[in-house]
Amino acid sequence: MPKTLFEKIWEDHIVHDEPGKPALIYIDCHLVHEVTSPQAFDALRLAGRRVRRPDLTLATVDHNVPTWSRSLPITDEISLKQITRLETNCREFGIPLFGLDSPQQGIVHVIGPELGFTQPGMTIVCGDSHTSTHGAFGALAFGIGTSEVEHVLATQCLLQSRPSTFRINVEGGLPNGVTAKDLILYIIRTIGTDGATGFVVEYSGEAIRRMSMEERMTVCNMSIEAGARAGMIAPDETTFSYLQGRPQAPKGAAFDEAVAYWKTLPSDEGAAFDRELTIDVSDLAPQVSWGTNPGMVTDVTGSVIDPDAISDENERRAARRALEYMGLQPGTRIEDLQIDRVFIGSCTNSRIEDLRAAARIVNGKSVASGVSAMVVPGSQQVKVQAELEGLDRVFRDAGFDWRESGCSMCLGMNPDILRPGERCASTSNRNFEGRQGAGGRTHLVSPIMAAAAAVAGRFVDVRNWE
Amino acid sequence: MKPFIKHEGLVAALDRVNVDTDQIIPKQFLKRIERTGFADCLFFDWRFLADGTPNPEFELNQSRYIGASILLAGANFGCGSSREHAPWALNDYGFRAIIAPSFADIFFNNCFKNGMLPIRLSEVEVRDLFRRVAENEGYRLTVDLSEQMITGDDGVELHFDIDPFRKQCLLEGLDDIGLTLQVEDRISAYESHRRNFGAA
């Protein structure tokens, strides 16, 4: 019987399955960071339990780390406590840690793939909802809560009820100036922020096949914003060549053996999905969010929605509230929205290709007066690579801040936050109220849209950029 | 884990859709390394004005909802981040059950790990409960997990569905890890033939 990519990985990882109970599945890779783990380690200690497989566990600090120079001290004492707690926990339980002083430190969803920990066919979890990023490799990867972090630490397994499957076929090619970020924003806009709740989404089709690994990561990263348990893309030659030579990827004959297995993973011809959707992106425009959730999105050529035009009462009220929070009037053209801040970073869009594309837009230009713009590379390795290519110079010369790696203003747990009322063009993944700082107003866009907005001081259609 | 068997309490109505975990507990409170002490952080940016005084506009600040232990909310409650601090904060504040037409997956799952019961009812049933709460100050409900019933003094009787395994875990206050370790031999057996290409 033909099987989907998800089914193959799921069945390969069942440790124990009893009727009427969720399946016990094995976890190949557990990523740990400073914010959602301390309570889990404490509970292990309290119960006298050990970490079953420290060798399959990997920790880094990303969420609350400052992005100013690493030579400066961490001034937030509570952040510092969380970071040092992770260090002591990793030492006590024997878990490898890429700490603040490590050349491999970075956002957990950037370093996993970069170091080759993320591989096709794996199950990967982390106490972070954007774990869906790793699905770009044809892995089953999803976010978990702290109690489940504890469960995985203690047992290397997780109790999971089997999700349904949802295939989104993305046909056509993305036009120039339209990116993976625009595609995933458009998908969320189309199906809603709970449009994939209960499903694992497999993205397929021509547009996906043509994407680089980094673009695929951007797509899978935001699956959670549509409510999906996970997002996945079938592994192919693009995947294999990305992995070859990465520090943690199999080497030599083992790599060939791995590739032979990975090639068996894509969904079989005729495999049945519980739900399917096909979209064509040949005419897609750059997307900009106008509201306070990632489904409240429109074309850059469009206008701020008129809540009165929404038929569903709940959605209408939510849109009204969103416009009030965002300080927007119905009918205002998106291109007329002036911005105060620009943030290029986050596990969605902070990889080298994102920075290259943004740098091409700002090259030789300047950040508009009154706009404060920053670039936060996803990892130290991304930062070093960008500096080798001179991208830091391009950004600095244009007036951008060039920072150290971390989650930064995607969630504002560190000192990088918006002030109340500030409007920000952000390459991150969530425009929730207060997400980037209490009272801050986030508009989600692609890196090139953010870069163009920094220069223009307002949103512009990057397709017309010269 | 504290069992959940039957709970009777005051119902608070938060008639908003897509309430995300960033609202339930804003990020500045995620730096605590403990599991408790989050009650004052719940819905912080909605609950308090910039000067730190309670926002009179916010639903839960209404005097009629003081002491509420059942939260009634709109669809897709708990969307966004996986932070378990969200159910911890709701629990610390005093909520034991949450009723909504739908929940985000990770939040839904996290509730069960903390002895809390998230209940999915139809949009029509939830709408009807919002009306009853609006019309009756001090509106209370009883949630009976073993019977899978919600009942009120006004005669309301609603059946709800729940996964039988989750039900059993809540009723008995079972510890997931303890359950899993009962089949430790299966884990070892799996590990002995687990796929491995000579790397992590």
Domains of chain B, CATH where assigned:
6-174 (3.20.19.10)
- Cβ distance A36 to B76 less than 8 Å, yes or no, reads no
Q: CA A132, CA A59: separation in Å to the nearest integer?
A: 17
At A283, list the tokens: 């005419």
Mean pLDDT of chain A: 97
HSE (side-chain half, CA atoms, 13 Å) at A83: 22
Residue B144 has pLDDT above 70, yes or no: yes
Main-chain dihedrals φ then ψ at residue B179, nearest 5 degrees: -65, -45
**Long-range contacts formed by B161-164: CB under 8 A, 24+ apart:** B161/B120, B162/B119, B163/A22, B163/A161, B164/A20
Cross-chain CB nearest to A39 (options B34, B76, B195): B34
- Give bridge partners of residue B79 from the DSSP assignment: B20
- Cβ distance B22 to A434 less than 8 Å, yes or no, reads yes
- A149-169: pLDDT as tens digits: 999 999 999 999 999 999 999
pLDDT tier at A419, thresholds 50, 70, 90: very high
Q: CA A171, CA A183: separation in Å to the nearest integer?
A: 11
Q: Specify the DSSP class assigned to residue B68.
A: -
- A164 touching B (Cβ < 8 Å): no
Residue B137 has pLDDT above 90, yes or no: yes
Residue B187's H or E segment, with its range, is helix B184-192
Tell me which residue of A47, A126, A63, A53 sits closest to A93, measured CA to CA: A53
Tell me which residue of A149, A30, A43, A49 sits closest to A95, measured CA to CA: A30
Where does residue B122 rank: exposed (0-12), middle (13-18), buried (19+ CB within 10 A)? exposed
**Contact call for residues A201 and A168 (beta carbons, < 8 A):** yes
Residue A341's H or E segment, with its range, is strand A341-344
B 145-164: CB under 8 A from A? 163-164
Kindly report whether the global pTM for this prediction surpasses the value 0.90: yes
- Give bridge partners of residue A171 from the DSSP assignment: A280
- A419 touching B (Cβ < 8 Å): no
- A5-44: pLDDT as tens digits: 999 999 999 999 999 899 999 999 999 999 999 999 999 9
pLDDT tier at B200, thresholds 50, 70, 90: very low
Q: Residues of chain A with pLDDT > 70: what percent?
A: 100
pLDDT for res B2 = 87
Residue A247 has pLDDT above 50, yes or no: yes
- A150 touching B (Cβ < 8 Å): yes
Virtual CA dihedral for B3, B7, B9, B11, nearest 10 degrees?
90
Cross-chain CB nearest to A15 (options B17, B102, B187): B187
Cβ neighbours of B181 in A, within 8 Å: 154-155
Q: CA B66, CA A388: separation in Å to the nearest integer?
A: 59
Q: Strand, coil or helix: what is A444?
A: strand
Q: How far is CA A7 from the centre of its chain?
A: 23
pLDDT for res B198 = 59
Show Cβ contacts of residue A90 under 8 Å, excluding neighbours closer than 6 positions.
Answer: A32, A59, A96, A97
Which residue bears the tokens 């010369």? A397
pLDDT for res A408 = 96
- A41-56: pLDDT as tens digits: 999 999 999 999 999 9
Residue A312 vs residues A326, B16, B75: alpha-carbon distances, Å: 21, 13, 13
